[in-house]
């Protein structure tokens, strides 16, 4: 019996120790982080244990879900460095999320862990990158690349690495007077260079990429546009730029990232058709009553009738100047538009933008919709049949309608905005135009596959076809339209997708694109 009692006692101790160990040691089983299926069903939220958490986005993109479940639909996303307010101090659930789900004050759920950090206090978990300025037509700082095959690094290179990849001479250390026959001169010979593979191939975006785990992430070509986060000085005294995509490049590899390098006072902008104070905000547009036309010749004159009814020639308002059209007249066999301030313009000098008298089939009387006329290269935004905004655009260019490699016309039809992005990088390869890349294109609204309405701050040819299929808008016009059109973008979000309670605007594209 004593022998049996000793074995029973040992078994009880062993079982007790096993139970204690499972309760104190974190399990690596995936099920250990998932509550029972009914754990969060019809249960009241836990009592608050402190102030609501703040949410810091640590990944480049952080997804926002419609419900605290990774299988729920995505309704938008946040960008790195942005800070948001949660509704609670504790997670509202753990379904498929180790760190717990938090509901944002503006709606939507994020998973704390890989993409965001739930924290308390004022101090941020890490230094954030530059955040977009939505009051500006350029949300970030941009700069053009100055030379071909400029390397973009994963990290700041050492002097030896920079000399190898950028082919410059390093300064010699000061001579040591204790050494006899010290070498003279001001610089050391460059390190042996690797053969540049770019010299032997046609550049494509794929060919410009660096090798896996190599210091050089990729190379960029002259004319590419980069979005700049900040300037950094390395320990060896060399200066670098850091892009918003966490790439590092030589300070002299780009033009100075100044807003004035892209935007000037003479940059084109459209017309708000609402009274002043109405609309999404003041973005520097003039307000005129419809209908509106644009003077399409820099040599166009204005005319005014004198006391005897004769036409007096006046200096014209300038290229693409808008006029509010009050009527149309024929004088001595020439047709004129009369503006609301009494001036006359030859109709041949003005592109009058007609207004819709009926809705496209499928568009409701209270829906937002955007009417794009490829023939006129124009855009009119409507609330139902009420016009609210009119401008000129640059749609896809048709250089040769018989050659698919030179035909970039914008697709026609009735679409809905599929997604909105404060900025979105655009790049591609074209057999005739070569590769292109523009980081963080502002105010992007996709409506059909890769075709979007977006800002084009790199040209000022609005009113003529120009793009590879997208609808280019001037920076201020893109900013106004982005803030007006659905789906609504909650404060602090970088992108949004439409859903039942946040519908999107329609996009109606029609007409024939002029060739050239």
Predicted local distance difference test score (pLDDT) of residue 169 = 52
* Contacting residues for 354 by C-beta, under 8 A, at least 6 apart: 291
Q: What percent of the chain has pLDDT over 90?
A: 75
**Which letter does DSSP use for residue 475 in this model?**
H
Sign of the dihedral through C-alpha 66, 68, 70, 76: positive
What does the mean pLDDT of the chain come to? 87
Predicted local distance difference test score (pLDDT) of residue 175 = 60
Tokens of 258: 């100044």
How does residue 202 score in pLDDT terms, banded at 50, 70 and 90?
Answer: low
In the chain, the domains with their CATH numbers are 49-128 (2.30.30), 141-171+190-261 (no CATH), 291-353 (2.30.30.40), 368-510 (2.40.440.10)
* C-alpha distances out from residue 38 to 67, 94, 194, 282, 318, Å: 16, 12, 61, 50, 69
Predicted local distance difference test score (pLDDT) of residue 50 = 82
Tokens of 385: 């049949």
Give the Cα-Cα-Cα angle 508, 509, 512 (nearest 5 degrees).
155
* C-alpha distances out from residue 60 to 217, 245, 409, Å: 17, 8, 33
Predicted local distance difference test score (pLDDT) of residue 120 = 94
Q: Check pLDDT > 80 for residue 454.
A: yes
Tokens of 219: 């190379």
Q: Tell me: the pLDDT tens digits for 316-348?
A: 999 999 999 999 999 999 999 999 999 999 999
How does residue 48 score in pLDDT terms, banded at 50, 70 and 90?
Answer: low
Count other Cβ atoms within 10 Å, centred on residue 260. Answer: 8
Would you state the torsion angle of the CA atoms of residues 125, 230, 138, 462, taken in this order, to the nearest 10 degrees? Answer: -140
Predicted local distance difference test score (pLDDT) of residue 40 = 34
* C-alpha distances out from residue 252 to 187, 225, 234, Å: 20, 14, 14
Predicted local distance difference test score (pLDDT) of residue 470 = 97
Which residues does residue 152 pair with via DSSP β-bridges, in sequence order?
A: 218
Q: Tell me: the pLDDT tens digits for 394-406?
A: 999 998 888 888 8
> How far, in Å, CA of 285 to CA of 57, rounded?
34
> How far, in Å, CA of 453 to CA of 414, rounded?
14
Q: Check pLDDT > 70 for residue 36.
A: no
Q: Tell me: the pLDDT tens digits for 474-490?
A: 999 999 999 999 999 99
Give the Cα-Cα-Cα angle 71, 62, 38 (nearest 5 degrees).
35
Q: Check pLDDT > 80 for residue 219.
A: yes
Q: Tell me: the pLDDT tens digits for 76-90?
A: 999 999 999 999 999
**Which letter does DSSP use for residue 114 in this model?**
T
What DSSP line would sit under 128-146, residue for residue? ------TTSSSSSEEEEB-
- Which of 177-186, 291-300, 407-416 is the least confident region? 177-186
Locus of tokens 């993409």: 115
Predicted local distance difference test score (pLDDT) of residue 430 = 80
Predicted local distance difference test score (pLDDT) of residue 111 = 98
Q: Tell me: the pLDDT tens digits for 164-187?
A: 998 755 454 556 566 555 454 444
Tokens of 342: 């009494």
Q: Tell me: the pLDDT tens digits for 132-162?
A: 999 999 999 999 999 999 999 999 999 999 9
Q: Are the CB atoms for 152 and 220 separated by under 8 Å?
A: yes
Q: Check pLDDT > 70 for residue 360.
A: yes
Predicted local distance difference test score (pLDDT) of residue 434 = 83
The model carries a pTM of 0.84
């Amino acid at each position: 019996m004593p022998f049996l009692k000793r074995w029973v006692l040992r078994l009880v101790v062993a079982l007790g120790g096993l139970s204690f160990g499972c309760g104190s040691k974190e399990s690596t089983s995936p099920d250990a982080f998932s509550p029972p299926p009914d754990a969060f069903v019809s249960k009241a939220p836990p009592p608050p244990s402190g102030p609501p958490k703040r949410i810091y986005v640590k990944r480049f993109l952080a997804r926002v879900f419609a419900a605290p479940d990774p299988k729920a639909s995505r309704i938008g996303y946040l960008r790195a460095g942005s800070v948001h307010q949660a509704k609670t101090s504790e997670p509202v659930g753990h379904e498929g999320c180790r760190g717990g789900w938090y509901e944002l004050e503006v709606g939507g759920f994020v998973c704390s862990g890989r993409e965001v950090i739930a924290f308390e206090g004022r101090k941020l978990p890490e230094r954030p990158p530059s955040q977009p300025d939505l009051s500006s037509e350029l949300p970030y700082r941009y700069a053009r690349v100055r030379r071909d095959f400029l390397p973009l690094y994963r990290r700041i290179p050492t002097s030896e690495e920079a000399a190898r990849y950028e082919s410059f001479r390093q300064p010699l250390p000061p001579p040591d007077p204790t050494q006899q026959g010290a070498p003279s001169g001001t610089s050391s010979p460059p390190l042996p260079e690797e053969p540049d593979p770019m010299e032997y191939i046609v550049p494509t975006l794929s060919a410009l990429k660096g090798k896996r785990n190599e210091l050089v992430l990729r190379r960029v070509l002259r004319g590419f546009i980069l979005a700049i986060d900040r300037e950094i000085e390395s320990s060896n005294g060399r200066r670098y730029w850091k892009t918003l995509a966490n790439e590092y490049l030589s300070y002299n590899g780009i033009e100075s990232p100044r807003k004035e390098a892209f935007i000037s006072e003479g940059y084109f902008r459209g017309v708000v058709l609402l009274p002043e104070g109405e609309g999404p905000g003041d973005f520097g547009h003039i307000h005129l009553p419809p209908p509106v036309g644009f003077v399409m010749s820099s040599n166009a004159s204005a005319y005014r009738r004198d006391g005897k009814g004769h036409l007096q020639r006046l200096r014209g308002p300038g290229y693409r100047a808008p006029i509010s059209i009050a009527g149309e007249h024929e004088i001595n066999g020439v047709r004129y538009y009369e503006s609301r301030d009494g001036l006359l313009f030859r109709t041949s000098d003005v592109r009058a933008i007609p207004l819709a008298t009926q809705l496209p089939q499928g568009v409701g009387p209270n829906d937002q919709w955007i009417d794009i006329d490829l023939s006129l290269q124009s855009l009119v935004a409507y609330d139902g049949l009420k016009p609210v905004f009119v401008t000129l655009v640059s749609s896809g260019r048709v250089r040769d309608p018989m050659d698919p490699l030179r035909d970039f016309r914008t697709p026609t039809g009735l679409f809905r905005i599929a997604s909105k992005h404060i900025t979105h990088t655009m790049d591609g390869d074209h057999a005739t135009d070569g590769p292109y890349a523009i980081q963080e294109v502002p105010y992007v609204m996709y409506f059909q596959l890769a075709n979007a309405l977006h800002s084009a701050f790199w040209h000022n040819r609005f009113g003529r076809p120009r793009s590879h299929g997208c609808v280019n808008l001037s920076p201020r016009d893109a900013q106004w339209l982005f803030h007006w059109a659905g789906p609504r973008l909650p404060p602090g979000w970088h992108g949004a997708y439409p859903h039942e309670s946040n519908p999107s605007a329609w996009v109606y594209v029609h007409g024939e694109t002029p060739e050239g």
